[in-house]
Amino acid sequence: MSDTVTIIDNRTGKQVECPVIKGTYGPPVIDTNALYKELGMFTFDPGYASTASCRSAITYLDGEQGILQYRGYPIEQLAEHSNFLEVCYLLINGELPNKVQLDDWENSIKLYGMTHEHLSRFYNGYRYDAHPMSIMAGVVGAVASYYHDVTDIWDADSRLMTAKRVIGKIPSIASRCYRYEAGFPFVYPDNSRGYIENFMNMMFSRPSEKYQPSAIAIRALDLLFILHADHEQNASTSTVRMAGSAETNPFACIAAGIATLWGKAHGGANEAVILMLEEIAEPKNIQKFVNRAKDKNDPFRLMGFGHRVYKNHDPRATIIRQACHDLLDEMHLNLPMFEIAMELERIALEDDYFIERKLYPNVDFYSGLIYQALGIPSNMFTVMFTLARSAGWIAQWIELMEDKEFRIARPRQIYIGSEKRDFVPMDQRA
């Protein structure tokens, strides 16, 4: 049996043999590259539901089985045994580091933690109540201006240095988005602290008092960052790759990814979940919201439910759900919102509407609850996601730049507009 699929144009009898590509796992993929040349036809796949946009060796996920692996390592094992910076190394370099490599990696990320002093002035251009994701997109885009001439996107060392810059600088940039709105002075990185602890210090410390985050809080944030670090070709990662394919500056690519992540169908869902739980306010109102989510005439959706790929369970959600329980227990916190979330989850999971459509709680249903328990304001939740996902974005950008099949991404369309018509002078228009 040949590894091809024959596509026949029944109108003309013309046919084309399309090679079938197999990855390590996952469904076989029909290579339709020759379709236009041979048959003069495009493929149409709204939302890319059946389209593989690239070959990638970084992350594998199986939505039916609820599997997520970074470079082959199951997310459950990384969550239990690794830490965020080690995961960054893995995503970018392809292998787990040995002790020397990890020490070297951590030190070099620290070296790149500072940002140019002038960058701090960019924040002043924003309204006092600007959404921090708007600030993130703008300021990260602005970083491109500091490294434009010195970044050679075709040089492997330069790409690796860019990755270190992104991972090193993003905590400082993110913390400043919060402090700008809160009216607190900016805090510089403190290299005597670990990556997560340093970020928390830049977020929460005050000039007037000493600050030391608890080990529980550091571990909870580290876990969330591991789980959010990469998720193959989602909307924001595809945006980063799309921008990168035009050979643009990598910081500008990341800024484009941030803009996409902000949307509430994507990374913005973690903030939307908390806003929804606040609106529900009391367990007695839950059914009303579930009914609204099921009503076709109401655009409301249950935030934190459903996923394009996971149709069984989101493995990140399973880990985070347990972590959320553990954290609240350890911190002796009694969040009323957590009770509402658990009850909402129970009601939705027993409802035929959600069962038939395979709508399960996703990672964002629980992540906001952890962020809230850690004292992070809800409008910063998607910024937290950005911090973690920057690792995946830059790993994917590097893979794109090293791809032998590198070409500018240029989808086609089905034109449904007017047929050709002549320009109408103003005095003859209706």
Q: Which residues are catalytic?
A: 307, 364
Separation CA 24–CA 188 (nearest Å): 44
Residue facing ligand CMC at closest CB distance = 306
Shorter beta-carbon distance to ligand CMC: residue 173 or 302: 302
End-to-end CA distance of the chain: 63
**Stretch binding ligand CMC (CB under 6 A), from 80-88, 204-212, 357-365, 409-417:** 357-365
Comparison of 22 and 357: residue with beta carbon closer to ligand CMC:
357
| Segment interacting with ligand CMC, rule: CB under 6 A, options 70-78, 98-106, 359-367, 396-404 | 359-367
State the Cα–Cα distance between residues 140 and 176, nearest whole angstrom: 12
Binding mask 278-317 for ligand CMC (x = CB under 6 A): ---------------x-------xxxxxxxx---------
Q: Answer yes or no: are the C-beta atoms of 193 and 201 closer than 8 Å.
A: yes
Inter-helix orientation angle 215-228/363-373, to 10°: 160
What is the footprint of ligand CMC within residues 142-171 (CB under 6 A)?
A: none
156 or 265, CB closer to ligand CMC?
Answer: 265
Task: Answer yes or no whether residue 231 interacts with ligand CMC by CB under 6 A.
Answer: yes
Question: DSSP readout, 3-29?
Answer: SEEEEE-TTT--EEEEEEE--SSS--E
Find the part of the chain contacting ligand CMC (CB under 6 A) among 173-181, 196-204, 355-363, 419-427.
Answer: 355-363
Rounded to a whole number of angstroms, the minimum distance from the CB of residue 137 to ligand CMC is 16
Q: Is the Cβ of residue 240 or residue 293 nearer to ligand CMC in the bound state?
A: 293
- Give which of 188, 164, 149 is closest to 391, Cα–Cα: 164
Q: Give long-range contacts, CB 8 A cutoff, 24+ apart: 145-150.
A: 146/116, 146/119, 147/249, 147/251, 148/249
Residue labelled with tokens 């939705």: 348
Measured in degrees and rounded to the nearest 5, phi and psi for residue 4 equal: -140, 160
Q: Rounded distance, CA 350 to CA 357, Å?
A: 12
Q: With binding defined as CB under 6 A, does residue 224 bind ligand CMC? A: no
Is the CB of 131 or the CB of 165 nearer to ligand CMC?
131
Q: Please state, in angstroms and rounded to a whole number, the distance separating the CA atoms of residues 61 and 68.
A: 4
Write phi, then psi, for 315 (nearest 5 degrees). -60, -30
DSSP code string of 345-368: HHHHHTSHHHHHTT--B-HHHHHH
CB of 373 to ligand CMC, least distance (A): 20
Helix (H) or strand (E) holding 176: helix 156-182
Nearest approach, Cβ of 381 to ligand CMC (angstroms)? Answer: 11
Residue 75 C-beta: closest distance to ligand CMC, Å: 13
Residue count at the site for ligand CMC (CB under 6 A)?
A: 21
* Residue (63 or 97) nearer to ligand CMC, CB: 63
Among 166, 344, 363, 370, binds ligand CMC (CB under 6 A): 363
Q: Minimum Å distance from CB 304 to ligand CMC?
A: 5
- Print the binding letters for residues 237-276 with ligand CMC: x by CB under 6 A, - otherwise: ----------------------------xxx-x-------
Q: Judged by CB, which is closer to ligand CMC: 189, or 304?
A: 304
What CA–CA distance (Å, rounded) separates 163 from 398? 8
Alpha carbon separation from 280 to 277, 336, 361, 421 (Å, rounded): 5, 11, 17, 53
- Least Å distance between CB 307 and ligand CMC? 5
Binding mask 45-84 for ligand CMC (x = CB under 6 A): --x-------------------------------------
The distance of closest approach from Cβ of residue 395 to ligand CMC in the complex, given in angstroms and rounded to an integer, is 16
Least gap, CB of 293 to ligand CMC (angstroms): 4
Buried b (16+ CB within 10 A) or exposed e, 390-423: bbbbbbbbbbbbeeeeeeeeeeeeeeeeeeeeee
Cα(425)–Cα(366) distance, rounded to whole angstroms?
Answer: 59
Strand pairing category for 4-8 and 15-21? antiparallel
* Residue placing its CB nearer to ligand CMC in the complex, 220 or 359: 359
For residue 204, state whether it binds ligand CMC (rule: CB under 6 A): no
Q: Which residues bind ligand CMC (CB under 6 A)?
A: 47, 231, 234, 265-267, 269, 293, 301-308, 357, 359, 362-364
